[in-house]
Amino acid sequence: QVQLVQSGAEVKKPGASVKVSCKASGYTFTSYGINWVRQAPGQGLEWMGRISATNGNTNYGQKVQGRVTMTTDTSTNTAYMELRSLRSDDTAVYYCARDGAPYTSAWPPEDWGQGTLVTVSS
């Protein structure tokens, strides 16, 4: 079965960077894209961006554009999301989520990781 296992919770100071990992199993990693979605405490879902594990192409959301980098390591079936210049309003649970269909970004995320809490506090 498809599994996405994310790295553990992080506490960071404002201005620092965080890198969250998402290890995939149970499917052909390079056939699907990985989306990153975050959820601030008590708030809704915000799509941050997507990386194609097929060719590494990325699309980033406007709110994090310029501060975020999404990468994949096909040798370990792991996706990464790095967010720089952290601010207090970046405090959120960060989810990785696999596209619902292969080789297309037009199918919404269907399989999700367990989430990683990133807390930004001085």
Could you list the residues that contact another protein (CB under 8 A)?
35, 37, 44-47, 49-50, 59-62, 95, 97, 100, 105-110, 112-115
User: Minimal distance in Å, beta carbon 108 to another protein?
Assistant: 5
User: Minimal distance in Å, beta carbon 61 to another protein?
Assistant: 6
* Rounded distance between C-alpha atoms, residue 71 and residue 80, angstroms: 5
* Rounded distance between C-alpha atoms, residue 65 and residue 100, angstroms: 24
**62: alpha, beta or left, given left = phi > 0 and alpha = psi -120 to 50?**
alpha
| Of 77 and 113, CB closest to another protein | 113
| Of 66 and 108, CB closest to another protein | 108
* Rounded distance between C-alpha atoms, residue 38 and residue 31, angstroms: 23
Residue 51: which of 25, 90, 24, 12 has the closest Cα? 24
User: Minimal distance in Å, beta carbon 81 to another protein?
Assistant: 14
User: Minimal distance in Å, beta carbon 8 to another protein?
Assistant: 16
| Of 9 and 16, CB closest to another protein | 9
